[in-house]
Amino acid sequence: MSVQTTNTLPLAGYTVFEIGQNVAAPFAAQILGDLGAHVIKVEKPSGDDARRWGPPDWEGAAAMFQTLNRNKTSQTCDFRDPVQVEALRKQLLEQADVVIQNFRPGVLKQLGLDDSALRTAKPELIYCDMGAFGRGGPLSELPGYDPLMQAYGGLMSVTGEPGSMPVRTGYSVIDCGAGMWAAIGVLGALLQRERKSGGEGEGRGNGARVEVSLFETALGWMQIAAAQYMASGTSPGRHGSGAASIVPYRAFEASDGHIVVAAGNDGLFAKLCNVLGHPEWTQDPDFSGNAMRVRHRDRIDGLIQAEIQRRDRAHWLKVLRAAQVPCAPVQDTAEAFGCEQAQALGVMQDVPDSEMKLMGLPLRLNGIRPAIRTAPPALTPLRRSEGVLS
């Protein structure tokens, strides 16, 4: 599949400094790097903690780190050393279009690397502040991690089987979601800055402070649940693989595994009933419209399950797709990335000068997926040239 070169990518020519670690800030910076920005990852001397978040390890660092840090260069800074901090500050003012940071609240302010200090000296700078609970409010100074936000933001209350212990989604959806919001905010700020730019020789327009937080991201993913609560006064609960307000819309167990059926309207429900050999279900008052099916979800789900379990997944995929009923097998990681559709899309990309393959950016521009141009960087110790980081 075709890939784009750096100079054809939309962010070519922009320089982004990532002063962060773990998942959220690295993911945000990686998105911008995939889109062509020159990303400099500033790490403490021991490196991003995520370098050691294995096993499994992969070519010198944890696989988790490797998949979040391609298309970047690395440099270290000892934030306890005033000389190194001042060198970094000078570098930011000279080179940075964007700074993304997710340090604990107040740390960078004490070092003179906060939004106010840097943008006073360089008004065109775009500074993205990624916090845990957001600025303002009684919890704004607390640190945060993905599972804490899945708990505090309500996601655990709607995830899992009814009556079960709280569970988090399998991977860091809050961290990655916050990274996506950060990238979106930075892109919007860059566009706004360019629109405010003067004519030739008049310089760039003012930058912006972009603020995102893990907590707000968690609440954002709960917007449907929030609307349902506001409308009904009742908090949605757990429905396993199903949905609070659509039935049938869940996983059913076939003879050799699970398959998800999403009959999201009356027409699709009728098609499903016909495929299952029970057209009479559409005449049952308990199933006459989605609202009634929601009220009687246990009954209709039980009837469907009794039929699905009689045959294997391949059978049901064939007949349901032929009837245009949306469905999908529940695949594990190997099946998902090995399936014909993933292969056809070319989502896995070779990493230059490496044996690794990583998931590419999940978008294409004019039919072309941005390339992985460089491998995730090895930890690069500080070098000094006349007291300035290089």
Q: How confident is the model at residue 197 (pLDDT cuts 50, 70, 90)?
A: confident
Is 175 assigned a catalytic role? Answer: yes
Top-confidence residue, 4 or 72: 72
The pLDDT of residue 4 is above 80: no
When computed from its CA atoms, the radius of gyration of the chain, rounded to whole angstroms, is 25
Q: How confident is the model at residue 198 (pLDDT cuts 50, 70, 90)?
A: low
DSSP secondary structure, 31-54, as one string: HHHHTT-EEEEEE-TT--GGGG--
CA-closest candidate to residue 145, choices 157, 130, 135, 160: 130
Please compute the mean of the pLDDT values over residues 71-75 and round it to a whole number. Answer: 97
Question: Cβ distance 214 to 132 under 8 Å?
Answer: yes
CATH number of this structure's domain 249-332: 3.30.1540.10
Please compute the mean of the pLDDT values over residues 331-341 and round it to a whole number. Answer: 95
Please compute the mean of the pLDDT values over residues 202-226 and round it to a whole number. Answer: 90
- Sign of the CA dihedral 250, 252, 257, 260? negative
DSSP 377: P
CB half-sphere exposure, 131, CA atoms < 13 A: 22
Q: What digits encode the pLDDT tens for the residues 10-58?
A: 999 999 999 999 999 999 999 999 999 999 999 999 999 999 999 999 9
CATH number of this structure's domain 3-222+347-389: 3.40.50.10540
State the Cα–Cα distance between residues 147 and 150, nearest whole angstrom.
5
Please compute the mean of the pLDDT values over residues 314-335 and round it to a whole number. Answer: 97
The pLDDT value given to residue 196: 82
Q: What digits encode the pLDDT tens for the residues 275-317?
A: 999 999 999 999 999 999 999 999 999 999 999 999 999 999 9
Q: What digits encode the pLDDT tens for the residues 226-284?
A: 999 999 999 999 999 999 999 999 999 999 999 999 999 999 999 999 999 999 999 99
Q: Which two tokens stand for residue 340?
A: 């014909």
Dihedral (C-alpha) 85, 91, 94, 95: value to the nearest 10 degrees?
A: -130
Q: How confident is the model at residue 205 (pLDDT cuts 50, 70, 90)?
A: confident
Q: Which one from 34, 48, 129, 175 is the annotated catalytic residue?
A: 175
What ranges do the domains of the chain cover?
3-222+347-389, 249-332
**DSSP SS3 for 273:** helix
The pLDDT value given to residue 104: 87
Three-state SS sequence of 303-333: HHHHHHCCCCHHHHHHHHHHCCCCEEECCCH
* Residue 370, Cβ density class (10 Å: 0-12 exposed, 13-18 middle, ≥19 buried): buried
Measured CA to CA in angstroms, residue 211 lies from 26, 45, 98, 136, 186 at distances of: 16, 27, 13, 12, 10
